[in-house]
Each structure stands twice: as structure tokens, then as C-alpha cells.
Structure 1
């Protein structure tokens, strides 16, 4: 996706999130256990301000969040965070330096992509929590979100912080997963002791597990953002134990 497209989607999904959070601030967020909508709103505002600081200072701020944020109303924090985030994006080019947690990409462009994806997931959280209709996720954004989740989150986390995945992967016999999002996007994932690798395309040979569906279904399922009925429209074919291994890796990588 082009960075202008990410920025357009960030604006659209932020506006949708902002439009629903005040309707039920005390409602529990089923996809974020223990959170209310107010907690979700505060979290997104803090994330926006964190990334704005990372771009401004060239390094991710620590510790975070500042204590004074606790005295600010959640929607005020969200508004301030979004304004600061967009100002930093407007003042910089995507290739400019920015501090990120992802070693291979220390750029503003990383945060443009990440904030678009962060916002669409939390927009879905807010809609599910408040009972608002879930706005469809465009195919291009959903495909990119699956790609980011598998490569930037899961594969990178296992490679860099493998000790957090020891319990999940050390006893793994090794599994191959084929993930298909719509007709055109596919990834082949391989897990095993200390391993979580992702390659583009369906590849050759059979897979132990195939996960397939429309791009939004794949995105929401892998991010555990199903609706109240638990059905995202994802088709899963293969060993349930292997599927559980994949899902546990993603959960740990995204915590």
C-alpha cells in the first residue's frame, strides 16, 4: 500500500472510533478482556502520543506513559494524541528516521503503516463493545494487516525474543501453514523449535493447516477480533493442535 493510502485509512478509522467511544464508555470490550471502552480510548491516545514522541525524538520514549496522563479524560487524550500524531506525519517524509521497536525499519513510514493497522483493529474493538455495526475493512488494508502480523510481529518476535516462545515451540514437531486472504494473497508459515518463518505465496507441497477466507475474515480471526458469535468467516482445515500453536505464537507476539 502507498503511504497516502495508509494515512487516508488512519483518518477514516480514527474518525469512526472517535465517533462511537463516547456512546458507552463503561461498556466492557469483549476482545480486550478487562478493559472498558474508556480504557480502550485512553490506550489509543497513549499509543498515538508515544509514536509522535518517537518520531520527534528519534527514539521510543521510556518509561511510558507519563503519570500525568492518568488525570486526563480518555477522549481528550485521544484527541490530543491524534492531533500530535498527524502533525508529526505531516512534518516528515516516510523515509525519515524514527525510533521503532522493529530493527529492520527505523522510519516514519513504519509508524504510518503501524498506526493505520493499530487503529483499524481498535476501531473494531470499539464497535464490538458499543454494539455499533462493524465497518468493513477494505481488502488492501486487511491483506497488509495479515502480512504485518505474520512477519513484523510473529516472525520478528520469535527471531529476536525467542525465550518468550520456548514453551510453545520447543516441543513442536514442526508445522507448515498456508494462509490465504482472498484470491490473490497467500503466505506459507513454518513453525518448529525456535522457528517461525514466513514466505510470500502459496509455495509448493502440502500444508499441515490451511486457513483461508476473505481478507477481513483472515485479519479479524488472526487478531482474535471475532464478533459475538465467534464467527469471522475463516475456514480452517488441519490439525487443531497445530492451529493452537500458531495462535499462541501470535498472542505472545502481540502482547
Structure 2
């Protein structure tokens, strides 16, 4: 199984890769995400980062944190620069390094979660978006076999 620290490194690396694309690369369509360009993938991870930060910082029994988070992300202007999108995406990941067992709200289960569970989700979700962008740009895939197995099955990974 990939450990907590490795998941955080993988999530940060995926953010940096996706949000580090040139202006020309940002305009490239992402076939695995119909209708999206590389910029749209970066915008997605940035905006979801805002919503995730709200949930990660909320108590496990606070289901309104999801709605608050998505409401906050919707207030951000369209066309944000890549640096802003990267900062938004990094914010929740940065909030996972304190105590892996810290309890918080987890949107995927609709209740109790931990920073460790969020780190797994971040590494998996961001890793998949990175694979999509790598494929769109014709870059070699960077996800290791261990990361792919962990993304599919965090218990056995």
C-alpha cells in the first residue's frame, strides 16, 4: 500500500504537472474528457480543490460542508490563471499533512472520513487526470504500477 506521505507527493506532482502546461498545451483537447481542454482539466482540479478544502477542514458530521465548498468554488472567476488554479488545488493537499487520522467530512461516503482517506482520494483522482492530460499531450505516463494499484485498491495497493 502506498503510504500517506507518498500519496501527498503524488497528488502535488500531478497538480504541478497539469497546471504547469504551456499556453499552447492548455488548448489541447483531452479525449478522455469530452469537451475539455488541458486548461479545463486544470480548472476542474483547482475548483474541486476549493470545495475539498472546505470538507477537509470540517467536522465529520457536517454534510453542509460539501455545499459550502462548491458554493465557494463557484464564486471564483472563469479564466483564472494556471498559478491560481494550482494554488487552489494545492490548498486541500497541504491540509492533509498534519495528522493522517484526523477526522473530517468525506464527500465520497457522505460522512466520516480522515485526512488519510482524502490523501488516497487526491492521489488517485489527480493521478487519473494527470494520465488523461499526459495522453492528450503524447507524454509518457508517469504513474507507477504501485500508484495505479493503490488508486484502484487502497487496501491492497
Runs of 4+ in 1 over 4 A off after TM superposition: none
Structure of greater relative contact order (alpha carbons < 8 Å, 6+ residues apart): 2
Aligned to 1:80: 87
Separation in structure 2 between the aligned mates of residue 112 and residue 124 of structure 1, nearest angstrom: 18
Separation in structure 1 between the aligned mates of residue 147 and residue 141 of structure 2, nearest angstrom: 13
Shift in alpha-carbon separation, 1:30–1:65, aligned structure 2, 3 A: farther
Report the TM-score when normalising by structure 2.
Answer: 0.80
2:134 to 89, 103, 127: 127
Larger-gyration structure (1/2): 1
Secondary structure at the aligned position of 1:98 is classed as strand
Separation in structure 2 between the aligned mates of residue 117 and residue 48 of structure 1, nearest angstrom: 14
Determine if the alignment matches structure 1 residue 111 to structure 2 residue 112: no
Separation in structure 1 between the aligned mates of residue 117 and residue 15 of structure 2, nearest angstrom: 18
Aligned to 1:207: none
Shift in alpha-carbon separation, 1:34–1:72, aligned structure 2, 3 A: closer
Report the TM-score when normalising by structure 1.
Answer: 0.52
Provide Cα deviations, 1:12-43, integer angstroms capped at 9, x if missing partner. Answer: 22222223364422221100011122211110
Secondary structure at the aligned position of 1:69 is classed as coil
1:139 to 141, 145, 148: 145
Aligned to 1:54: 55
Separation in structure 1 between the aligned mates of residue 71 and residue 85 of structure 2, nearest angstrom: 13
Shift of 1:55: 1.4
Q: Select the structure that is richer in helix.
A: 2
Separation in structure 2 between the aligned mates of residue 62 and residue 74 of structure 1, nearest angstrom: 25
Separation in structure 2 between the aligned mates of residue 21 and residue 41 of structure 1, nearest angstrom: 12
User: Which residues of structure 1 form unaligned runs of 5+?
Assistant: 152-184, 186-214, 216-255
Q: Select the structure that is richer in strand.
A: 1
Shift in alpha-carbon separation, 1:79–1:128, aligned structure 2, 3 A: same
Q: CA RMSD in A?
A: 2.5
Provide Cα deviations, 1:174-229, integer angstroms capped at 9, x if missing partner. Answer: xxxxxxxxxxx7xxxxxxxxxxxxxxxxxxxxxxxxxxxxx9xxxxxxxxxxxxxx
Aligned to 1:89: 96
